[in-house]
Amino acid sequence: MDFEAWWLILIPILFGLGWIAAKVDVRQIVSESRNLPDSYFRGLNFLLNEDHDKAIDAFIEVAKLDSETTELHFALGNLFRRRGEIERAIRVHQSLLSRSDLPRPDREHALHEIAQDYFKAGMFDRAENAFQEVQNTSYAISATRALIRIYEAEHDWEKAIAAAAHLRELTDEPLPQRVHYHCERAQAALSAKEPDFDRAATELDAAQREASHNMEQGGSQASYARIAILRAYLARRQGDGNTERQWLLSALERSPEFAGLMAKQIMDNFAASGQEEQAVSLLRDHYFAHPSLDVFEVVFAALRKQGFAPAWQFAQDSLRQHPSLLGFDKVLQSELTQEQNSDGPDQLQQHMPDFDLSLLRSMIEKHTRRMDKYACRVCGFQAHTYYWQCPGCNSWETYSPRRPEE
């Protein structure tokens, strides 16, 4: 009974304390809100209505009235940057950094913000310095990602490799782009006026190690395809056709979807040793298992050299199984080329004497021109050339080796 009596006394006391605390909180909120200028609330209202011009004007008025409102300065700088008014964003963040009484967390925040301003303005040198200043802060991960993008844009692959290694220490996430950094260095060594084969081989060895590490974490097959294609190219430059063929066939087996990127190289390798028939048979079988417009074009061109019948039989079989306006357009293009290079009318033209092939192709090409592109899976950026890194969003390995129609 004594215990229950104590509860009867305690409950009203707790209720009363809660009521008093609530009244104090409400009074404090009302008091603080009265101290805020009306332009602050107008700015919020404009921002909610996505009227950024009026919101900026309202917030500038607040900032003039109270220069100590750091959070408002950050919001204002972000609005300027989003609207593309980079100079105004930089001035806002510079005004914060010029304050000697700015707390350390706010100073780091301002450095990170002004680094983003410089980056968006294309002032990579200043952006790099600013991002490096926040490397040992809570902004380290985002700053390192930004530094990687800067080094990629500048094609400074050595710095990009180091920055990606630092990012791996911070996040332990798979970084497939490290493979491509070494591949870019290898490609540069092979494309130089005086090719450095040893350096290219060293870079490809490093790329192979990175690819093996990524495969353990569920990496894609695109990395292996690029390494194998470059190793095959290196072997060809060194006059080693057998090694070139081994790498090409290995890539064909391990990365079958990327066959279109190496089909022409495979055909040239086999043709150099008088084995073009074997290459045609190999690529034709591969095409029916893994259809690709680029493989179709290489096989059709090789068969067309042998005559009209085998090439058109392959074309008919292919287009029946995998209908494609792009494929048919490539066939017509090949036939028009044959007609221009021959003395007499082409065999297809003999079967269609009353039809103008150039007119037919021009009609189809209007529809296929927009399809004959590779597309990024992330941003949708389209290009006639295959890219390992998307020029639109800078993502790696996001281009499919097939066109959208395929």
Q: Which residues are annotated as a binding site for Fe cation?
A: 376, 379, 390, 393
Residues written for the chain: 406
| Amino acid type, 362 | S
Q: Which residues on neighbouring strands pair with residue 4, listed in sequence order?
A: none
The Cα 235–Cα 245 span in angstroms is: 9
Residue 374 phi, psi dihedral angles, 5° rounding? -90, 150
Please report the DSSP string for 249-261 in residue order.
HHHHHH-GGGGGG
For 69-73, the CB contacts below 8 A with 24+ separation are 70/96, 70/102, 70/106, 72/40
The Cα 347–Cα 265 span in angstroms is: 29
**∠ at Cα 28 (27, 29), nearest 5°?**
90
Specify the DSSP class assigned to residue 376: B
70 CB neighbour count, 10 Å cutoff? 17
Specify the DSSP class assigned to residue 375: E
SS3 173: coil
Please report the DSSP string for 15-38 in residue order.
HHHHHHHHHHHHHHHHHHHHHS-H
Which residue is it, tokens 């390192």? 144
131: left (phi over 0), alpha (psi -120 to 50) or beta: alpha
Q: Which residues on neighbouring strands pair with residue 375, listed in sequence order?
A: 382
Binding residues: 376, 379, 390, 393
The Cα 5–Cα 21 span in angstroms is: 25
| Amino acid type, 213 | H
For residue 63, give every residue at least 6 positions away whose Cβ sits within 8 Å of its Cβ, in sequence order, or none. Answer: 69, 72, 73, 76
